[in-house]
Structure 1
């Protein structure tokens, strides 16, 4: 499948999820919004579950790409996971939109969508576990990072930047990870 068509379809499903919610998203509506036929959509995504799972996997790909770049620049996995979102960065905004859409698509049933989300979240968790020897400390970092990200997704007030850096520094010092760099405000 051409990346442009795939992304157009996945962008359309995200937009519809954000505007209408999962129960109101149909394959016909996604196809129309993406500018493809329903048959064309079904050629690439065999079902609504497969379409939603594709969206979740793209979210994972986007996050993995950002993580790889952060690590290449000397940031630890834990630092990346604990970083506040940047609403001025187009890639971060796309990641936020994807995560919001994913959250609207997951209905708690044992489906391909749920499995894709579990796989994505486990891959992030395994990165923290590889980096942090203490599994309890790795779990604390994951939970704090999840809370930071959820607050950003919901538009809740962010921590004051100096306080945020102090929290992250203390948390990372407890893990034995390298100290946080001062690249983020």
Structure 2
């Protein structure tokens, strides 16, 4: 959300080709600063608020899912510092994303008038789950003992649990192109 605001504001200013590198470096440093100073606390607190208000239908956690996906991918492609995204690389986060995916799948079926909206939210949750799996693979490649212990724990608590595997299979079996996002990115879809 903060990154999108910065990019939006930068769009109002003319940026010369020579300045592109400077802007990219500033954005990169900004993302690193968010990761190192606020990310884990922010994700933990926002998830806590969302879970507390889960009974109400007036919240949309797609923005948090998008942020988790973005920062996991940024961290993975930068240099994969485990401590910066420890809140997201946890069994609780995997379970939360899986729960959101299951909820969105159920809502597509039960709320036919809003099926496209729920499909958009499911798309964002699925992208986040995919990035969690990419980060899991990157975690395996780290030569750190803590990373290997976390990898082993996550694999045994995520990959070998039937519920997680069945969710992906259920998604594939129940895919309906009428509810798809038609090639638009998740960021474009969530705000509409």
TM-score by length of 2: 0.33
**Whose helix proportion is higher, 1 or 2?**
2
TM-score by length of 1: 0.34
